Amino acid sequence: MKDRSKLTTEKRNPRSRGIDRLDAKGLVEIINREDGRVPTAVGRERKRLAEAVEIIVDRFRRGGRLIYVGAGTSGRLGVLDASECPPTFGVPPTMVQGIIAGGRRALVRSAEGCEDVAADGADAIDRKRVGCKDVVVGLAACGLTPFVRGAVERARRLGAGTVFVTCSPEVRRRVRADVVICPVVGPEVVTGSTRMKAGTATKLVLNTLTTASMIRLGKVYDNLMVDLKATNAKLEDRAERILMTVTGITRSAARKLLQRAHGEAKAAIVMHERGVTYAQARRLLSEAQGFLREVLSPSRPR
């Protein structure tokens, strides 16, 4: 598509015309009203979000990885989501990864020209040694970014699962991927500034993909992040509170139990509830494929 003015993400927003004449209160109000459209747009994509989650979970269970690929704001959001999975869900850093056009430097400084070569995206996929066990999620608000399109196409040819996230309905049918997620948030308050509504929609989509996938893998018990690793003061406090909530023990007892469990909240819960050692708790969890509910209530379905 040569004329990008036809893309929803590039159109002028009639509701924000004349914003340069508004005072601070008026600006905040109009931005807030537009932001309010984002959750509804993402909600309309829930069927496709669920399809993508099933693909991701299937690849995870086969030992595969989830790899985000993006440029600019989209790329940064992918790297951000990937980096937050290890402390939240106790997974290795290699399980969820982010690729951004321009590399690490582009995380903190604009490198927009790096997104224009499709072959560079394909090369990035090759460097990650992507295979049929992996899932590659392309992130491009406009849906046209060559680096992202090249990466997703390369991943598809390698047999990987593919998902594409865009906010431009005009390109939806032109994207070759297993699932295309397209929250239509409409034109931006500042024309073409996709770090705004499109960026917010992308963040919500990524939150949903990883959180839902990790829950399906048994990384959450009830609504508690029981697979976290207590590696700093904040996480130690959270782990202690989780133990107190699930087992009913005191803060002091939770702290001691967590120490015996090497900072692993899930293992600590099993140790207390089943009256076993750390090694036995790890074995029971392994036999239950990590599902704490299965260990605590073996007769109940997951």
Choose the CATH number for 4-216 among 3.40.50.1100, 3.40.50.1820, 3.40.50.10490, 1.20.140.10.
3.40.50.10490
The catalytic position among 51, 54, 84, 273 is 84
Reduced to 3 states, what is the DSSP secondary structure of residue 67? strand
CATH tag, 233-296: 1.10.8.1080
The catalytic position among 45, 115, 170, 294 is 115
**Domain limits of the chain?**
4-216, 233-296
Inter-residue contact 184 to 165 (CB < 8 Å): no
pLDDT digits over 135-179, tens only? 999 999 999 999 999 999 999 999 999 999 999 999 998 999 999
What is the number of other CB atoms lying within 10 angstroms of the CB of residue 288? 17
Which residues, listed in sequence order, are joined to residue 98 by a DSSP beta bridge?
68
Asked about 54 being catalytic, the answer comes back as no
pLDDT digits over 230-252, tens only? 788 999 999 999 999 999 999 99
pTM for the complete prediction?
A: 0.92
The DSSP secondary-structure symbol of 182 reads -
Asked about 170 being catalytic, the answer comes back as no
